[in-house]
Structure 1
């Protein structure tokens, strides 16, 4: 399937699990005078119990991101006791789901615990397995990690020549492999939370980034002082004012066998993370700056060379 023009996103999947996209092209029609293909993301996935499988696709000319994977936050209406809270909204919650409780202003993860029982109605009483801290109060953000598109796969795709980020990721237990990111205004890969839009959860876990190539990305120098766009591959947690969050919620992220032509302040930025591995990275550094920047992170670096392919 080919999408040449769309007034919004090309593909929008809302509470949709295991979406399969193969050989999808989002691009301006050859010879067209249009400046953009879509006015929003190429693929926008909001909530689902299994992540999308996006294979052999090409994304060009969007006015926003290539792929965005996330789940929206719910809110605590009231805590009834140490293990029972009332939440708003109709987002899916089932027994056994893992809920994450977040102070949105500071970006602190207050608790993560499994659901033992769920009531009905627009405002549902939810009983969890462990006692919640006193910091969980009315207004606390709640993300359902079990409904945040785990098990995604982005493989053999090409992202080129558009305004935005290649992959904006808030999902876990997935892989981004053998893809090409070229001539984007923003980061190639952005693993973070988006507090301004209540998009999360906080922290991606068990993610592999293998065999990818990043060239001329990010290319908009006016954005590179902004913390969201300071690196080609950005791993970070943000507070409500887009500053650094208090948590170390990213865990077990592996970057292996990747090529980066550095155009930003850093080829790779790692913040708010533990157990990050960078291995077999070929990086063409930008003169006068380091290829790596970190904040509040635990990482291992091996096999770095300057010979990109």
Structure 2
């Protein structure tokens, strides 16, 4: 069933971000700064696409756009609608970057690159051989965990409110060199022990998107963390705790910047103007 007709915002908009919701997205500000700094005429918009409109949108994109980014909740559902998907994105079951070439849709994921680059930038941390505690086992966490395993982290501890979800994710990722452990939120002694020995704690739940959200775990368990990376680009309760206790920390804007820069490079086949994109991103987030 056709839900609605998608229309170009204007003739210059050839790229976009899609999501449900999408109004909050700062990707247009960041990407448009990139296009302008690179001297390109194309512009980047946003489309509110509900799950039952995704197929219609991909057909619209096939004939009208040069590429688009996908965010929640479309990263997995998109895969079956594309003509070709990069092997790593297929294995992670997550696509966030689509290129349109000669009427065909090519899917890729730049999230892993964005995360890897952000961790290196914030903490001088290399994922390979590192010990990581990850909070969450949902969609974002699943793709993130895959990146850690594919980049050969030494040990990944997955902590989730529902332990069975953490166990299922660990089982799905098994068979690689990374040692995997699954814990429920109530296993506080084991969580504290894992955090004490970890190089970084990754906050990969949605807790903190709304100010009313409860923290993803008892904050006191973080007191011995070496570093904390929250994938949300807000000053969440987790980050406030880290700042109060002088724990090195970073929010998700570095990941957003670098995955966006990688998307830009895939589409334009040129180096992304990262400094201009960073300035625009910071300005948009600090409004």
**Which category describes the TM-score, using the shorter chain as reference length?**
under 0.3
More helix by share: 2
TM-score, length basis structure 2: 0.24
More strand by share: 1
Q: Which structure exhibits the higher relative contact order, with contacts defined as CA atoms closer than 8 Å and separated by 6 or more residues?
A: 2
TM-score, length basis structure 1: 0.23
